[in-house]
Amino acid sequence: MNKIKNLFSLSTKNEEKSEKKTGQKPIKKGRFLKGVVVSDKMDKTITVLVDRYKEHPKYKKRYKVSKKYQADDPKNEYKINDWVIIQEIRPISKKKKWRVKGLVKDQAAKSK
């Protein structure tokens, strides 16, 4: 229990030191994901399909897992089949917790 308290106290001390140097609190960046736009029917919102590969713990076979994310698109500029990068942000609504950061540069290779 004391070790856990020490770990928490160390992290807060480091944050206080960085806060004193810059005068600002450290910024949490969030996660970035890459996926393809599968729907743009909503206003200022797109649906992004993100694929990732998992490995079975026992058999070590890799398999694909897909998940859809609702992402904020304030200018309605992204269309279906665009490859985009999304960033995790504070919740905007019940399902929107991601914002589009931009297009993936090499779209031609991704569409094959």
Give dist(CA 4, CA 53) in Å, integer. Answer: 33
Burial of 35 (0-12, 13-18, 19+ CB in 10 A): buried
Do 47 and 10 belong together in one domain?
A: no
Average pLDDT of the residues of the chain: 82
Model pTM score:
0.69
**Mind giving me the DSSP string for 67-110?**
EEEEEE-TT----TT-EEEEEE-S-SSSSEEEEEEEE-S-HHHH
CATH number of the domain that residue 44 is part of: 2.40.50.140
Do 62 and 82 belong together in one domain?
A: yes
Do 72 and 91 belong together in one domain?
A: yes
Do 17 and 39 belong together in one domain?
A: no
- The confidence score (pLDDT) of residue 92 equals 95
Q: Which domain holds residue 17?
A: 1-25
Do 3 and 44 belong together in one domain?
A: no
What's the pLDDT band for 106 if we cut at 50, 70, 90?
A: confident
